[in-house]
Structure 1
């Protein structure tokens, strides 16, 4: 039986750095400093995999570290063409029970904000400097009843035209942008990871940046049979 390999984040960085281009290492450094664990998108029962992929791509592009998917619809695999690898850099958690998802997030100190058309406040009035889980509902019904009832706040993106709501991918982009804008304006930055968390995440990204990174580490250490 093979003994479990344990390494520190610094050991992983030192071992893999020669196998990653300088330009790629600089990009990882830049991304890690702007990663935000306090704004978490939650996709509730989305039908269209293209919409799921588009929201994940936007969230990753705006600095999100994590995302949650409440999987109550029969969906196919998210399109790699649309995400352009965003799902590779996001930590995704999938739930089957909407209530369990909301309860978990609230227990972790997140205010749960559901996009909703009824009894809702304008998006810009939400305080996104607080840890916030932003729930986006599906294309037909919006967020499910369980999420709407358990959410701490309901918000709506003000509409100035005749249409009642935006497409889910557009709503996700506008909402995530407002959250990051607020954090930049009020806190002076979007990223919120500690120095230790950034180093650990950097090591994780090194492993993901290298083809079969974990196997390469094993081979470089001479542990591969």
Structure 2
């Protein structure tokens, strides 16, 4: 990726919204295809950047509006000390790039990492969340926040419908994409992985189900949730150790997937003494 900027001392500066790299960042922000092709993504916000740095992500460049945050303060907060990583931008450029206007004047270009199943490191008694084919970035972000709150071993997205570095996922997860161990794979691959690891599969489903609170989650367990519209595919139901359900007293028969997952996850944590 080429960078055409001018330098003020040792600091790169971009003042034009027509700069070629500004256009490239907009492409990365807006198009999953560009993120996959380049292996790069854009994130906004100090908290998100700090979490990405702590997780060991490789930071390509950090763009900042000096009217909002000073370089020395930014260096102190991010622990990224090499000034070559920083690009100073004008208010106009920041507003052109920013997805939201409350991100502390900080935007970063970051290298993505591998999210294959074989990259997961699990404890001896893992508790895992699996979500099949979630489409809404907001739901994925909420699932990641729940997983972080419960300190799960991993989150696995089966048959993903969007890439993990969608800006809406990063935003809605408030950076929890970087605090969780996350993998993506096909449903078949995830089932094979769980069975090979001896992990019990508990699927949230309406049929042949028992009350979620009556199930023992003290052994290695995966809690599997599907979409609100279609639920889980038959492959999950055919390979489930136990279908589970959250009893409801109202007129509808489903809840938001992130709410359902949270209820079951924290019952599992309660049983485990946490």
Q: Secondary structure at the match of 2:272?
A: helix
Looking at structure 1, the residues matched to 163 and 136 of structure 2 have their Cα atoms a distance apart, in angstroms, of 7
**What is the CA distance between 1:72 and its match in structure 2?**
4.3
Mapped pair 1:92 → 2:198 = no
Structure with max Cα Rg: 2
**What is the CA distance between 1:164 and its match in structure 2?**
0.7
CA gap 1:65/1:74 in 2 versus in 1, 3 angstroms = closer
Q: Secondary structure at the match of 2:141?
A: helix
Looking at structure 2, the residues matched to 100 and 52 of structure 1 have their Cα atoms a distance apart, in angstroms, of 20
Select the structure that is richer in helix.
1
Looking at structure 1, the residues matched to 223 and 124 of structure 2 have their Cα atoms a distance apart, in angstroms, of 14
Contact 1:49 1:75 in 2 (8 A): no
Q: TM-score by structure 1 length?
A: 0.63
Mapped pair 1:119 → 2:218 = no
Q: Which has the higher contact order (CA 8 A, sep 6+)?
A: 1
CA gap 1:79/1:73 in 2 versus in 1, 3 angstroms = closer
Structure 1: which 5+ residue stretches go unaligned? 1-18, 21-34, 185-189, 191-225
Structure 2: which 5+ residue stretches go unaligned? 1-75, 78-122
| Deviation >4 Å, runs of 4+ | none
Looking at structure 1, the residues matched to 132 and 203 of structure 2 have their Cα atoms a distance apart, in angstroms, of 10
Cα shift readout 1:18-41 (whole Å, capped 9, x = no counterpart): x99xxxxxxxxxxxxxx9962100
Contact 1:37 1:64 in 2 (8 A): no
The correspondence for 2:149, drawn from 32, 48, 61, is 61
CA gap 1:66/1:72 in 2 versus in 1, 3 angstroms = closer
Looking at structure 1, the residues matched to 178 and 192 of structure 2 have their Cα atoms a distance apart, in angstroms, of 26
Q: TM-score by structure 2 length?
A: 0.52
Cα shift readout 1:124-160 (whole Å, capped 9, x = no counterpart): 1111111101101012111111111111111001111
RMSD value, Cα: 2.3
Contact 1:46 1:139 in 2 (8 A): no
Q: Secondary structure at the match of 1:109?
A: coil
Equivalent in the alignment of 2:132: 44
Equivalent in the alignment of 1:83: 173
Contact 2:201 2:242 in 1 (8 A): yes
Contact 1:102 1:151 in 2 (8 A): no
**What is the CA distance between 1:107 and its match in structure 2?**
1.1
Looking at structure 2, the residues matched to 149 and 75 of structure 1 have their Cα atoms a distance apart, in angstroms, of 27
**What is the CA distance between 1:112 and its match in structure 2?**
0.6
